[in-house]
Structure 1
Amino acid sequence: MNRATIARAVVAGASLAAMPAVAATFGEMPQIAGLVRDARLAEISGLTASRRAADRYWVHNDSGDRAELFAIDSTGAVVARVMVDGYAVKGTKKPVDWEDVASFEENGKAYLAIGDIGDNGGVRPRVEIVVIEEPDIAGATAQAPVERRAQIAWRTRFRYADAPHDAEALAIDADAGQALIVTKRTYPPMLWRVPLRSDGEATAVALGPLRVPASNEPEPPASLRVRPRQPTGLSIDRTGSQAAVLTYRAVWLYARAPGQSWAQAFATEPQVLPIAGLPQGEAIGFDASGTHLYVTGERWPAPLIRYDWKSVARPSSR
């Protein structure tokens, strides 16, 4: 994404005023947890907490990079690099447009799902989710980083039911056997469901629009291709009780009640967490406990910011 274009969009939307949050869960003033200083990570586009290593987070770059992921600690220091073998799209070993990553567990194994779902021009007839087993990086530190190789466990190729869409936001609901995707250039943003596994080409099904936080200002015109409230990342916590949507200007936090569907949860008024100190937020993820929320993005060195849970009752586990 062109940074100058994004900067103009953020300025254009600077007057978008968030209304009071429905539920005060995370504190609205984030902390600077650290900086991602590794020059190999100049355009971070996805972030997810490891299922196998405490205090470790998987990240990857945006389009044009190799099929590789990096693990960082909670200060932004790189502790591991993983190269994905056997990746080939249209004769090249590079992904088309990796935009997000989500960790999950299935049958006792930890996996990483990578969303090759970016489509700036709205021309890709099909996109895909690539799944690998999460590598073991136990003991890896910034002082003793490790390198691993991973094989593709499976790929889920799919098309949208209506037309191609650009998306940068992916999460996995392993209990339901589905991936959740939020499209970027529709307004309001649309929630889609894709089967986590599919024998053939799957079809993404629209679940409904997201409720966009109320604002005193109108949405910028559709002619402005990059708008401040476009979703650029998605994460759901391990209890399945909350989801965080990242935009260029804020985080939208949706609570999910027991028995409620994701479509119903995303139709409720979200809590708004303003972004500070991050010019181009593109990656978001809860930690393993769901009490910290990390955000970073496409700048080098990239600030790693953290929102902390306030002293209120936690949602019950599902």
Structure 2
Amino acid sequence: MLGAALMVWGWAVAAAADSVADTYFRYFRPSGHIDEPALNELSGLAVSRRTAGRWWGLNDSGNAPMLYAMSPDGRSQGQVTVSSLNTDWEDLASYQRDGQAWLAIADTGDNFGFRSQVSIWVLPEPTLPAKGIAQTREIRFRFEDGPRDCESLAADPQRGRFLLIDKGRKPAGLYELPMTFTAGSELAMAKRIADLPLIWEGPVPPALPAGVERYRGTPTAIDLSPDGRKLLILTYKHLAEFERRADEDWPQAIARGPMRIVRLPRQRILEAAGYEADANSALIGGEDEHAALWRWNGRFPPAKAPAAP
């Protein structure tokens, strides 16, 4: 009797494992592993807007102020030192504006909520091999409702703004910030334009320590499609996408829904995501030395029918 029960239990576990694997590989495929040892706390990813087959990545706080170029399978293509301090870099955005390819670094991490001002560092996308230190320009700003821990940055060059989402508070807020450089004591303001729904309310993922439970449903990275119509959001457990109509802005799109969502592959901490050049798929990665990179194929599970009244 016990043997039969164990056999049934084994079949159930195997079936569940097959189901999970099928779910993962229906929407995600391994893309490769980061082969640059120094890029061991990947916190931001952005596709190149000037060189096909190139991605840029950066490390989290306390690391050298470096940008790392790589292929989609993680092979190193070189690195660039930039002129700004890595206080707490958390995300990276790439975009085209005025005929120029740009990168924007979000120096916006604030785990303890004590930074009265934070920065976005902007630079023309570098060429390789690097020629000296890449010079950045600063947009120094504060959030209109007080300090926020923010790990998510997207560029909206058509409307001349950046979009940011804070982390760890409920509800998370979507903010907009003009793409205007600051100088001297000048301080820009990030305005809250929408509240986001909590994307995932279940228990903290098993691979994460209990101390990060408050972060489980809030964004660790975002990206905006080049046409400004799709907003990709990464959390520790899911990848989600909002889409706005041509006649609406993000507050209306977020309030309207629906949100498309897919469960992520199991990996310890996934903190970086960016659309590929056509915005029909994305690359996702996370912390750890030689961390895995995953390619999302742009598909989502079918929407569930509403429950009968």
CA distance in 2, matches of 1:122, 1:310: 36
Counterpart for residue 117 of structure 2? 126
Structure showing greater relative contact order (alpha-carbon pairs closer than 8 Å, 6 or more residues apart): 1
Counterparts of residues 54-69 of structure 1 (less than 5 Å) = 54-69=52-67
Give 1 or 2: higher helix fraction.
Answer: 2
1:118-154 deviation line (CA, Å, top 9, x unaligned):
00110001000000110123xxxxxxxx344443342
1:55-76 deviation line (CA, Å, top 9, x unaligned):
1111000000111100110101
Contact in 1 for aligned 2:164/2:175 (Cα 8 Å)? yes
Counterpart for residue 286 of structure 1? 275
Contact in 1 for aligned 2:273/2:283 (Cα 8 Å)? yes
In structure 2, what residue type is equivalent to 1:163? Answer: G
1:53-104 deviation line (CA, Å, top 9, x unaligned):
001111000000111100110101110201113x2xxxxxx31100001011
Poorly superposed stretches of 4+, deviation over 6 Å: none
Counterpart for residue 167 of structure 1? 150
In structure 1, what residue type is equivalent to 2:290? Answer: P
Contact in 2 for aligned 1:45/1:59 (Cα 8 Å)? yes
CA distance in 1, matches of 2:101, 2:200: 38
Q: 1:148 to 1:77 in 2, by over 3 A?
A: farther
SS class of match (2:252):
helix
Counterpart for residue 227 of structure 2? 239
In structure 1, what residue type is equivalent to 2:161? Answer: Q
Contact in 1 for aligned 2:91/2:106 (Cα 8 Å)? yes
Counterpart for residue 11 of structure 1? none
Counterpart for residue 197 of structure 1? 180
CA distance in 2, matches of 1:135, 1:223: 38
In structure 2, what residue type is equivalent to 1:232? Answer: T
Counterpart for residue 254 of structure 2? 266
SS class of match (1:231):
coil
Q: 1:79 aligns with which of 62, 77, 83?
A: 77
Contact in 2 for aligned 1:28/1:274 (Cα 8 Å)? no
Question: What is the Cα deviation at residue 29 of structure 1?
Answer: 2.2
SS class of match (1:266):
helix
Contact in 2 for aligned 1:278/1:296 (Cα 8 Å)? no
Q: 1:122 to 1:32 in 2, by over 3 A?
A: same
CA distance in 1, matches of 2:204, 2:75: 37
CA distance in 1, matches of 2:123, 2:41: 22
SS class of match (1:37):
coil
1:262-291 deviation line (CA, Å, top 9, x unaligned):
222233231112111322010000011112
Question: What is the Cα deviation at residue 301 of structure 1?
Answer: 1.6
Q: TM-score, normalization: structure 1?
A: 0.79
In structure 2, what residue type is equivalent to 1:297? Answer: G
Question: What is the Cα deviation at residue 243 of structure 1?
Answer: 1.0
In structure 2, what residue type is equivalent to 1:109? Answer: Q
CA distance in 1, matches of 2:67, 2:163: 21
Question: What is the Cα deviation at residue 213 of structure 1?
Answer: 3.8
Q: 1:46 to 1:301 in 2, by over 3 A?
A: same
Counterpart for residue 300 of structure 1? 289
Is 1:50 matched up with 2:42? no
Contact in 2 for aligned 1:277/1:303 (Cα 8 Å)? no
Question: Once superposed, what is the RMSD of the aligned Cα atoms?
Answer: 2.4
Counterpart for residue 188 of structure 1? 171
Counterpart for residue 277 of structure 1? 266
Is 1:212 matched up with 2:212? no
Flag the structure with larger Rg: 2
Counterpart for residue 21 of structure 1? none
Query: Structure 2: where are the runs of 5+ without partners?
Result: 1-24, 301-309
CA distance in 1, matches of 2:248, 2:26: 26
Contact in 2 for aligned 1:211/1:270 (Cα 8 Å)? no
Contact in 2 for aligned 1:81/1:148 (Cα 8 Å)? no
CA distance in 1, matches of 2:90, 2:298: 26
Between Structure 1 and Structure 2, how many residues are aligned? 269
Counterpart for residue 104 of structure 2? 113
Query: Structure 1: where are the runs of 5+ without partners?
Result: 1-26, 88-93, 138-145, 312-318
CA distance in 2, matches of 1:251, 1:62: 21
Question: What is the Cα deviation at residue 227 of structure 1?
Answer: 3.0
CA distance in 1, matches of 2:138, 2:198: 32
CA distance in 1, matches of 2:295, 2:240: 14
Counterpart for residue 142 of structure 1? none
CA distance in 2, matches of 1:50, 1:246: 20
CA distance in 2, matches of 1:60, 1:218: 29
Give 1 or 2: higher strand fraction.
Answer: 1
In structure 2, what residue type is equivalent to 1:231? Answer: P
